[in-house]
Amino acid sequence: MSIKILIIGNSDGIGAALTRTLIARGDQIVGISRSPSPLSPNGPKHVVQDIAAPDYPDVLRRIIVDEGPFDTCVFCAAIGSGLKLHDLSQEAHVIEVNLTAMVHTLASLLPGWVEQGRGHFIGLSSLADDFYNTDAPSYTASKAGFSNYLLSMALKLRSQGIHVTNIRFGFVDTKLPKASWKPLMMTTEQAATHVIRCLNTKPMQLSVPKLAGLALHSIRWVQSLRVWLS
Ligand SMILES: NC(=O)c1ccc[n+]([C@@H]2O[C@H](COP(=O)([O-])OP(=O)(O)OC[C@H]3O[C@@H](n4cnc5c(N)ncnc54)[C@H](OP(=O)(O)O)[C@@H]3O)[C@@H](O)[C@H]2O)c1
């Protein structure tokens, strides 16, 4: 059955691969990003918008009225910024795009979903949410907040028929990850397949690949020990 899906951050990477797959199976997509959709002009409806701009909540509410109601929203947008101690100007911006804009997005969709007693919000987080990253603390802090917020909302909303899914990916082959070593890296198509599985099964959380999650968790354990010993 065809569903109507809002995808935030689908001009590139995992969001773009997901959009292609969902269109092929007949779903109706509305996308948002700062660049035009690579699938335009004959592709799905696309709104060019910076989700960190002050007018984003108003623009989004208008999209929901004009194009909704949406069955599902997949929040894929994110940026990363390596830590530069001589220039910290991007640190807060990373948190605005990755975390604050996600909170605005869910807040705009929820009133309609609560009224209907159904809805599904999927957010793309990271296995790095469980890790202290001295090279990119704003990215990992945004993902820690992202996962914590979505899981809290997942527990709160399930009894009202609204599903929230937090997907924690390891490395995916896009322009985003900057590490020189990217073990167990997935393709964007593989990542999109995991998102679609969550569309169907609606779990509260999915972490893939599991082995990478275990490895990062062990590093976090050593980091926590260092903090505790200090
Ligand atoms: N790739 C990985 O290794 C990896 C690992 C774990 C988790 N993830 C997560 O998976 C999600 C997708 O990542 P990706 O690798 O596909 O990244 P990507 O290829 O860089 O794509 C990011 C998307 O977000 C959009 N975006 C960024 N800033 C925006 C803004 N201010 N306003 C509107 N749209 C904005 C971009 O479009 P415009 O630039 O056109 O705005 C683009 O469509 C992210 O949440 C990321 O944290 C990725």
C-beta 97 within 6 A of ligand 1? yes
**Structure tokens belonging to residue 208:** 């893939």
d(CA 139, CA 94): 6
Report the nearest atom of ligand 1 relative to the CA of 124.
45
**Nearest CA owner, ligand 1 atom 19:** 13
Q: What is the pLDDT of residues 55-90, one digit of tens each?
A: 999 999 999 999 999 999 999 999 998 999 999 999
Phi, psi of 120 (to 5 degrees): -140, 120
This prediction has a pTM of 0.97
Q: Residue 209 pLDDT > 90, yes or no?
A: yes
Q: Distance between CA 229 and CA 118 in Å, rounded?
A: 47
What pLDDT score was predicted for residue 155? Answer: 98
Among 33-42, 131-140, 152-161, 178-187, name the one with the lowest average pLDDT.
33-42
Given the CA of residue 8, which atom of ligand 1 is nearest to it? Answer: 34
Given this model, what pLDDT does residue 40 score?
Answer: 63
In a 3-state reduction of DSSP, which class is residue 1? coil
Confidence of residue 140 (pLDDT cuts 50, 70, 90): very high
d(CA 120, CA 135): 33
How far is Cα of residue 204 from the mean position of the Cα atoms in its chain?
14
Identify the pLDDT of residue 180.
84
Question: Which residue's CA is the nearest one to ligand 1's atom 25?
Answer: 9
Nearest to 223 by CA among 131, 135, 143, 140: 131
Residues 6+ apart with CB under 8 A from 155: 204
3-state secondary structure 60-114: HHHHHHHHCCCCEEEECCCCCCCCCCCCCCCHHHHHHHHHHHHHHHHHHHHHHHH
Q: Say which residue, 95 or 81, is predicted with more confidence.
A: 95
Q: Going from the N-terminus, what domains does the chain have, and what CATH number goes with each?
A: 4-229 (3.40.50.720)
Residue 92's nearest CA partner among 77, 79, 111 is: 79
CA of 172 to the centre of ligand 1 (A): 11
Average pLDDT (21-41) is 91
From 34, 74, 173, the mutation candidate for ligand 1 (largest count of ligand atoms within 8 A of CB) is 34
Question: Which atom of ligand 1 is closest in space to residue 171's alpha carbon?
Answer: 3
Which tens digits make up the pLDDT trace of 150-179? 999 999 999 999 999 999 999 999 999 988
Q: How large is the average pLDDT for residues 207-217?
A: 93
Residue ID of nearest Cα to ligand 1 atom 16: 13
Taking the centre of ligand 1 as the mean of its atom positions, its distance from the CA of residue 43, in whole angstroms, is 20
Span 42-55, average pLDDT: 94
What is the residue-averaged pLDDT of the chain? 95
- Per-residue confidence at 103, pLDDT binned at 50, 70, 90? very high
Question: Do strands 4-8 and 28-33 pair parallel, antiparallel, or not at all (unpaired)?
Answer: parallel
Q: Which amino acid is at 4?
A: K
DSSP readout, 121-170?
EEEEEEGGGGS--SS-HHHHHHHHHHHHHHHHHHHHHGGGTEEEEEEEE-
Cα separation, 110 vs 117, in Å, equals 10
